[in-house]
Amino acid sequence: MNGKEILNRFGFKVKEEPISIYPYSPVYLVRHGDDDFIVKRTQRKARQVMAYTSMLKDRGVNVVTPVKLTVDNPQKFNESNFVVYPFIEGNKYSGEKKEILEAGKLLGLIHRLSPVSNVYDLLEYNIYDFNEQEVEESMEAIKHHADKAGLKIDTGLKAKLLESVEYQAELSHAELPHVASPHDFKANNLVFIPEPFLIDPDNASWIPRIFDLALALLLFHNEHREAPDRIFTIDEWNLFLSGYKEYVTLTDKEKFFWKKSIQHIFLDEVMWLMAEFEKDWQNPSQQNLFNNLIEIVIGDTDYN
């Protein structure tokens, strides 16, 4: 089913095939009457996500929830689910200290409001099965992309990734505290009005809390033109954490497994990103971010 059919099924009558505003997934900006809407693909547990985000909204979190239509929202089209959200006007993240602090507060509040068990039946994080062959194949792809971009990859990256493979069993049995979370908390999923407003909660899942925090550390600035082309500095990270810790007190167990969790999320999220998207290596800002990520994970920098 094409984009035109999807929009028409939701009641947005369009004559031409719409163009996605996001290169990696179908996301359509639609004008209807005096209002703008976002129509996008969401995950397979669409209604569970909507129940969870509705709870967050009811508890005071700035987060998009489906608009009320005369037809079902979300809806399933073939094997994919689509949802209509309101378009949220606001400013883009620019890396200012106040934005970093407020973003940390928002993630802390979201984690604070999590139920103690997976009552919303969200997708459960269970990715602990990476193996040496996957690392070998990913490193070949990464080196290929980097070579085409005229870049050299530090040979220490492969050793670090293989080390991370060895940590998986330990992490999977550590019984780390879990939370319900949007699990894609980064700058390009926020607008500031002036408080941060979460505009993409569609990866919501039940996940170890420090995995979600590690993802924010590593990829908060990913795919964002106005953001710095690097991860947080240590001072910026401490600022983010100061906002986060207004709502959350991490356990000693979480602190113990923090660095291994960073390595695991690099293995899960960053290795995939670097290996799968060759054109990102042709983008100077993404090149700088990738190099910084490699430096951080190899150098064991003290992001406590």
Alpha helices, DSSP H, located in the chain: 3-9, 46-58, 97-112, 132-148, 156-172, 209-219, 234-244, 252-256, 258-265, 271-276, 284-299
Handedness of CA 184, 186, 188, 189 (dihedral sign): positive
Looking at residue 45, what is its pLDDT? 93
**Judgement on whether residues 32 and 106 belong to the same structural domain of the protein:** no
Alpha-carbon span 190 to 273, nearest angstrom: 20
CATH code where residue 43 lies: 3.30.200.20
Question: Where a domain ends, among 39, 62, 86?
Answer: 86
Half-sphere exposure of 258 (CA within 13 A, CB side): 13
Structural domain that includes position 43: 3-86
92 part of a folded domain = no
Provide the pLDDT for residue 79: 86
Question: Nearest Cα to 168, choosing from 252, 268, 265, 264?
Answer: 264
Q: What percentage of the chain's residues is helix, strand, coil (to nearest 5)?
A: 45, 15, 40
Of 153, 123, 156, 127, nearest to 44 (Cα)?
123
pTM: 0.94
Q: Are residues 183 and 293 in the same domain?
A: yes
50 shares its domain with 118: no
**Residue 254: per-residue pLDDT:** 98
Burial class (CB in 10 A: 0-12, 13-18, 19+), 215: buried
Q: Is residue 304 part of a domain?
A: no
Residues 125 and 81 in one domain: no
Q: Can you tell me which residue has the tokens 């969790």? A: 261
Structure tokens at 180: 């319900």
- pLDDT score, position 224: 87
- Alpha-carbon distance of 108 to 211, in angstroms, equals 14
Place of tokens 């209604």: 47
Q: pLDDT tens string for the chain (304 positions)? A: 688 999 999 999 888 899 998 877 899 999 888 889 999 999 999 999 999 999 999 999 999 999 999 999 999 988 899 999 999 999 999 999 999 999 999 999 999 999 999 999 999 999 999 999 999 999 999 999 999 988 988 889 999 999 999 999 999 999 999 999 999 999 999 999 999 999 999 999 999 999 999 999 999 999 888 899 999 999 999 999 999 999 999 999 999 999 999 999 999 999 999 999 888 999 999 999 999 999 999 986 788 8
